């Protein structure tokens, strides 16, 4: 095992290697990745050790199952030099900007009536952030560990470790560029994730080529509760509705009682 960080591994690790990213990223390792599948239970152990190690665990998945290059993690498709300062971005302002940009008439000339149907009950009017929820102590972390165990049991995932204080910071620090066609500055994506960590207890568990998988400890219980959250998700990742559920209301229905949020960018 090649270990790239100054401190010793927080728990015994399987064989792995450092990842340095593209040529513009320099020579400092961005993360450590296991050579094989993530061992059962190890994500949870590393997550518990995070307060003393400073290393955030991620399950890392490739563009496609069996990909020999395990893109983007082993193919050099990580670009931290393109990432701005996460702390310089305001989540509420970003979501409003993305919502308004996504609510404009598209190149095919979709009319107001069609757009209003897709985005009902809000239409082009940004509804503002969803209300924060109260998360009992320890529940958010327990939910994340449980989800990691489930995902590692059936998906093609490896274990990653990134020096970061949270999942949101880890995403920015490693130079991930999955939403490139929607937003080319990952710090803006990470700023929203950091806000969701605070408001909803969401935790980033898995990252793929262009996908994110988050745990959610206290999901909405009704469609009415889910609608403003669905609006945030649609601003953050328009494909959730426009290439997925079809309408904001249909997507909100998927969020009811769901302890997982999955995002995918075309």
pLDDT tens digit sequence for 198-253: 999 999 999 999 999 999 999 999 999 999 999 999 999 999 999 899 999 999 99
> Lowest mean pLDDT: which of 22-36, 51-65, 83-97, 103-117?
103-117
In a domain, 179, yes or no: yes
Residue-wise pLDDT for 136-151, tens only, equals 999 999 999 999 999 9
| pLDDT for res 107 | 47
Residue 141 resides in a domain? yes
* 54 or 65: which leads in pLDDT: 54
Over 50: is that where the pLDDT of 3 sits?
yes
Q: Extract the tokens encoding 48.
A: 């518990």
| pTM reported for the whole predicted model | 0.94
119 part of a folded domain: no
- Range from 15-29, 176-190, 201-215 carrying the lowest mean pLDDT: 15-29
Residue of 196, 197, 248 lying closest to 226 (CA atoms) = 248
Q: Could you read off the pLDDT of 76-88 as tens digits, one per residue? A: 899 999 999 999 9
1: pLDDT confidence band, cut at 50, 70 and 90? low
In total, how many domains does the chain have? 1
Query: Taking 90 as the threshold, does the pLDDT of residue 48 lie above it?
Result: yes
Q: Is residue 104 part of a domain?
A: no
Taking residues 140-163, what's their average pLDDT?
Answer: 97
> Are the C-beta atoms of 209 and 72 separated by less than 8 Å?
yes
User: ∠ CA 223-233-196 to the nearest 5 degrees?
Assistant: 100
- The answer to whether residue 228 is domain-embedded is no
Q: Across all residues in the chain, what is the average pLDDT? A: 93
The domain of 76 spans 16-80+136-218+253-264
- The arithmetic mean of pLDDT across residues 164-192, rounded, is 96
DSSP for 104-158 reads S--TT---HHHHHHHHTTTTTS---PPPP----TTHHHHHHHHHHHHHHHHS--E
pLDDT exceeds 90 at position 110: no
Average pLDDT over residues 85-104: 94
Residue 103 within any structural domain of the chain: no
> % helix / strand / coil in the chain, to the nearest 5?
40, 15, 45
Quick one: what percent of the chain has pLDDT higher than 90?
85
Across residues 261-266, what is the average pLDDT?
95
Residue 145 lies in a domain: yes
């Amino acid at each position: 095992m090649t270990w790239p960080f100054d401190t010793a591994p927080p728990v015994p690790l399987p064989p792995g290697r450092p990842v340095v990213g593209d040529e513009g990223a320099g020579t400092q390792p961005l993360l450590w990745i296991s050579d094989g599948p993530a061992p059962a239970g190890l994500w949870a152990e590393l997550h518990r050790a995070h307060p003393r190690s400073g290393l955030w665990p991620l399950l890392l998945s490739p563009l496609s199952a069996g990909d020999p290059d395990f893109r983007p993690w082993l193919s050099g498709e990580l670009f931290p030099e393109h990432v701005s300062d996460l702390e310089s971005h305001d989540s509420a302002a970003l979501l409003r900007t993305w919502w308004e940009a996504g609510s404009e008439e598209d190149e095919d000339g979709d009319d107001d009536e069609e757009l209003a149907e897709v985005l009902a009950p809000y239409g082009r009017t940004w509804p503002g952030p969803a209300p924060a929820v109260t998360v009992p102590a320890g529940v958010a972390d327990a939910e994340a560990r449980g989800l990691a165990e489930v995902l590692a049991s059936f998906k093609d995932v490896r274990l990653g470790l990134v020096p970061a204080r949270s999942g949101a910071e880890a995403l920015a620090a490693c130079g991930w560029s999955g939403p490139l066609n929607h937003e080319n500055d990952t710090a803006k994506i990470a700023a929203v994730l950091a806000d969701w960590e605070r408001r909803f207890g969401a935790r980033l568990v898995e990252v793929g080529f262009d996908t994110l998988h988050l745990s959610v400890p206290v999901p909405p219980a009704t469609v009415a509760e889910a609608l403003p959250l669905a609006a945030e998700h649609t601003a953050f990742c328009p494909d959730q509705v426009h290439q997925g559920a079809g309408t904001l209301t249909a997507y909100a229905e998927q969020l009811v009682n769901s302890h997982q949020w999955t995002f995918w960018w075309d």
